[in-house]
């Protein structure tokens, strides 16, 4: 087990790792190609992973660890907010602010451009109980950010 003071940074690391990992599995394992807004949701998770790793590396400096954990929680929450926006676009609550596209990996050739799937941001590729992947990211990211902040606050109030 690990000391309770490490609970917040560990959660701040594991939550985006699982969410980002799930996105990669859905893309490469199940062929659900991401749209542009899907990529937007991944960037804060990548940042949160790095910030949480820094927090854990700096665990001997309690103040630095808490700051980097807080920043990781903010990054997770930002991904959740983007997920809310993306889900709203999918459900038709509002219009998106982007053209829908998918990123090409590797060298770009005319053939790769012509064969690249066009992924619409306003259409959910997969749902469970009416909730899209963007919706699930919003729910799980908001919950994870709240949990990290609660764990950080618990440490502060227990020390007082």
pTM assigned to the model: 0.80
The domain of 109 spans: 4-159
Q: What is the pLDDT of residues 47-104, one digit of tens each?
A: 999 999 999 999 998 899 999 999 999 999 999 999 999 999 988 888 877 655 555 5
Domain count, the chain: 1
Q: What is the pLDDT of residues 20-60, one digit of tens each?
A: 999 999 999 998 888 888 889 999 999 999 999 999 999 99
Strands 131-132 and 127-128: antiparallel
User: What pLDDT shows up at residue 150?
Assistant: 94
Residue with tokens 């542009």: 36
């Amino acid at each position: 087990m690990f000391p309770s003071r490490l609970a917040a940074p560990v959660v701040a690391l594991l939550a985006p790792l699982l969410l980002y990992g799930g996105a990669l599995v859905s893309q490469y394992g199940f062929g659900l190609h991401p749209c542009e807004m899907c990529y937007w949701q991944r960037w804060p998770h990548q940042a949160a992973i790095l910030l949480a790793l820094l927090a854990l590396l700096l665990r001997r400096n309690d103040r630095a660890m808490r700051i980097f954990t807080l920043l990781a929680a903010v990054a997770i929450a930002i991904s959740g907010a983007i997920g809310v926006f993306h889900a709203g676009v999918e459900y038709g609550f509002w219009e998106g602010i982007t053209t829908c596209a998918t990123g090409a990996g590797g060298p770009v050739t005319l053939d790769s451009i012509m064969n690249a799937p066009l992924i619409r941001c306003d259409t959910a590729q997969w749902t469970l109980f009416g909730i899209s992947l963007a919706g699930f990211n919003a729910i799980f990211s908001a919950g994870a950010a709240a949990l990290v902040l609660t764990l950080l606050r618990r440490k502060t109030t227990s020390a007082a």
